[in-house]
């Protein structure tokens, strides 16, 4: 399957670090050797080493939350204030922005990696920083799933966990969307990755948002503006991401079930000792607010709504609302 070399988003002036690990045993029993985990650490750990915020990125995100995809939320004077907190964001296992994954031909075939494996690997980095108490673990979409696994796997590690637009287990509808994307990539290689991104984009946005932005407007070339938008989204991802990594992360999302082997979702999250908050967006086509409310109620957690016409991508676009929610959890 042909695919372009992965290209990271425009680099910031900050330095990306790499943790080297001799051996990583995965949930399924496979063992990875000579593992690299790329990460950014912004801000400084205090003397007590208890001011760390761990941020988990979404499907095609990178370790650069502060300089790239969440720069309106993470930084000096922002909701996750890097003058008060050290902020750790690692590139998730299997991704293609510096962490070991199938983007490297020498690593193929790559074993199944789960959100539990991702959480465990980040926890090893937290341990290497000599942090015994994390102020907040937070993520959206895939990042929210990893945050839930982080809470269930290490119930005493984070004092608060915020999972945004994320289910406790991948739903049948989400599995179906993943299947369509895999078929597109299998049929079209790199071009299939672009098509998969178009499919995914239609789950990230709502019909109301697309109608308001594009309606039936056409471009000078005669094409509908919404067609050009989807093509642009597909080509952008094809230029910067790796198809093999995309498939690996889709598989991790499909395998996601925080209650697996733990007696169910309620038992898994009920053991968590910190403050657990779920955020849902009404109208989210990919993971509806009902998917979030179900695990929130099962776990006895708190729920916060994120109102947006955007849909699933609201955690990336509604900066003021997201910032208010994050501040409330950090300061609560």
What lies within 8 Å, CB to CB, of 139 at 6+ separation is: 55, 56, 57, 58, 145, 146, 147, 162, 163, 164, 166
Average pLDDT over residues 326-331: 96
Active-site residue flag, 40:
no
Which pLDDT score is estimated for 11? Answer: 41
pLDDT band at 3 (very low <50, low <70, confident <90, very high): very low
Chain segment 242-295, per-residue pLDDT in tens: 999 999 999 999 999 999 999 999 999 999 999 999 999 999 999 999 999 999
What separation in angstroms does the CA of 250 have from each of 27, 262, 273?
A: 16, 23, 30
Catalytic entry in 284, 289, 291, 308: 284
Which pLDDT score is estimated for 15? Answer: 77
- Report how many helices (DSSP H) and strands (DSSP E) the chain contains, helices first: 10, 10
Which pLDDT score is estimated for 2? Answer: 41
Helix (H, G, I), strand (E, B) or coil at 278: strand
More confident residue, 87 or 11: 87
pLDDT at 1 over 90: no
Query: Two tokens at 205?
Result: 């946005």
* Burial label, 145 (beta-carbon count in 10 A; 0-12, 13-18, 19+): buried
Which pLDDT score is estimated for 190? Answer: 82
Query: Residue 327, annotated ligand binder?
Result: no
Closest Cα to residue 85, out of 123, 153, 133? 133
Chain segment 139-177, per-residue pLDDT in tens: 999 999 999 999 999 999 999 999 999 999 999 999 999
Closest Cα to residue 144, out of 52, 70, 215? 70
How many other C-beta atoms are found inside a 10 Å radius of the C-beta of residue 32? Answer: 20
Active-site residue flag, 284:
yes
Active-site residue flag, 64:
no
Query: Two tokens at 19?
Result: 């943790």
pLDDT at 224 over 70: yes
Query: Residue 313, annotated ligand binder?
Result: yes
Q: What percent of the chain has pLDDT over 70?
A: 96
Quote the CA–CA distance of 114 and 255 in Å, as a whole number: 6
Which pLDDT score is estimated for 6? Answer: 43
Domains and CATH numbers, the chain: 17-170+256-331 (3.40.50.1820), 173-250 (1.10.1740.110)
Chain segment 293-312, per-residue pLDDT in tens: 999 999 999 999 999 999 99
pLDDT at 10 over 90: no
More confident residue, 78 or 4: 78
Which pLDDT score is estimated for 132? Answer: 98
pLDDT at 315 over 70: yes
């Amino acid at each position: 399957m042909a695919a372009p070399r992965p290209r990271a988003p425009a680099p910031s002036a900050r330095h990306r670090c790499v943790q080297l690990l001799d051996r990583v045993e995965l949930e399924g029993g496979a063992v990875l050797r000579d593992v690299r985990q790329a990460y950014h650490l912004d801000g400084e750990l205090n003397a007590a080493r208890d001011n760390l915020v761990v941020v988990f990125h979404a499907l095609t995100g990178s370790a650069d939350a502060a300089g790239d995809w969440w720069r309106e939320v993470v930084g000096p004077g922002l909701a996750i204030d890097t003058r008060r907190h050290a902020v750790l964001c690692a590139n998730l296992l299997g991704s293609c922005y510096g962490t070991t994954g199938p983007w490297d031909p020498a690593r193929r075939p790559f074993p199944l990696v789960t959100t539990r494996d991702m959480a465990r690997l980040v926890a090893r980095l937290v341990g290497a920083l000599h942090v015994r108490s994390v102020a907040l673990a937070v993520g959206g979409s895939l990042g929210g799933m990893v945050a839930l696994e982080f809470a269930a796997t290490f119930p005493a590690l984070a004092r608060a966990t915020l999972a945004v637009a994320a289910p406790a287990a991948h739903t049948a509808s989400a599995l179906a969307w993943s299947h369509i994307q895999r078929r597109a990539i299998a049929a079209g290689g790199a071009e299939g990755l672009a098509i998969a991104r178009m499919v995914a984009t239609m789950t990230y946005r709502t019909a109301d948002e697309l109608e308001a932005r594009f309606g039936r407007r056409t471009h000078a070339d005669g094409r509908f503006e919404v067609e050009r938008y989807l093509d642009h989204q597909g080509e952008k991802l094809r230029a910067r991401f790796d198809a093999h990594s995309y498939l690996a992360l889709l598989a991790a999302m499909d395998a996601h079930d925080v209650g697996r082997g733990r007696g169910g979702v309620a038992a898994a999250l009920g053991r968590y000792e910190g403050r657990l908050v779920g955020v849902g967006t009404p109208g989210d086509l990919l993971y509806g607010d009902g998917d979030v409310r179900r695990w929130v109620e099962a776990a006895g957690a708190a729920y916060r709504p994120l109102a947006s016409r955007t849909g699933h991508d609201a955690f990336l676009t509604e900066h003021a609302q997201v910032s208010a929610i994050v501040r409330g959890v950090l300061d609560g």
